[in-house]
Structure 1
Amino acid sequence: MSRYIVSPHPQGTPEWLADRCGKVTGSSVSAVFAKIKSGEAAARADYRMQLVLERLTGIPAEGPPPTAEMRWGTEQEPFARMAYEIATGLTVNESGFCYLPDLMVGCSVDGFLEDGGRIGIWEGKAPKSKTHLVYLEAGELPSIYVPQVEHNLWVTGAEFCDFQSYDPRFPEKLQRFSIRIWRDEARIKAHEEAVLQFLSEVDELESKLRQRAA
């Protein structure tokens, strides 16, 4: 039996949005870890309020309007997936939104992988060329995606994540930057504890407001 449930609804549909409503997701989890020198970071407080609002109203928060860069990334995703499969010989199996049955958490992985009997996930990005160049030069998982990758590993129970940045505008041998991140149980445990603490804060505020509405 799988530890998570897979939504059968296509991404972007009202049903898919309803599945995500009120849950901490991989695409937004970085807000949980936002920090400032004193007090609580605005991003963290805003995310808590967003989840409480979604739970009270049942209405998913509206995402930001798509930018040209976001549209480019969406258009390039199938080509990025194809480039990865050709380079590695592995198959990326697309999936719906994955969520845990007993916790208000979930994630939308770009795909699942199997390599030598090990189950992994694939995270593909197609950023603007300057960003891709930064990733190429650094040669490591970009820090902005660390919370998302660890969240998705936690939710799915996968053993590794293959992260890829893709830009077909580069010379052929520079079009892909790919790195494998292995599951680190200590980091996953720390991630879980931080998310559970955040969820307890969301639950507390939701309960307080529901009592006032009773």
Structure 2
Amino acid sequence: MPQSVAVDVVLPCLDEAEALPWVLDRMPSWARPIVADNGSTDASVDIARSRRVPVVEVVQRGYGAACHAGLMSARAPLVAFMDADASLDPRSLELLVMAHLEAPADRPCLVVGARQPVSRAAWPARLRLANRVLARRVHRVTGAGLDDIGPMRLADTVALQDLAVGDRRSGYPVETVLRASRAGWTVTGVPVPYLARAGRSKVTGTWLGAARAVHDMSRVLSA
């Protein structure tokens, strides 16, 4: 891998002080983390700034809002996204970069990490089922052979900034895949380990939260 910064890594963050040190400590030397803070009331922002990690303060609530704000601050040739809850290992980013390098160079490329749970606790049954249904629907619409519409993604920075993904809630990853496919991008997936997160998810930690996330994604698919 290159020694200089090749990838800006957007970390959407809402009260992830428990997990953030582990995530930042495992960030590759060629990747620059950007914490897109969505209103944390714990020490998340202080942890990031104490490590000289750029922090983008995102006033608008929503996963997509945090992703978009982080994306627009990215300057490296490639930009990646991953959760800041220690469910994904930053060292897996190398797998996405290698898949991007192997893709055709004549068009932008979006690589999506396909989560491979290391235990039952890492990915509850209700979420695996919802994600399986979602991936099938995305395949029918786009033809993209993705097993997972996961939170770890990597793409060409400028091309993604120009893609104008509009969702600011949980539908952001789905809209990214839809728009990239329709724009003629290479869209591919690569398996990545999926760990039990630190703390409870603010989005899918309950049946209600999971239902809201599925609703947001379904809304994007139906638009």
Q: TM-score, normalised by structure 2?
A: 0.26
Bigger helix fraction: 1
TM normalised by structure 1 equals 0.27
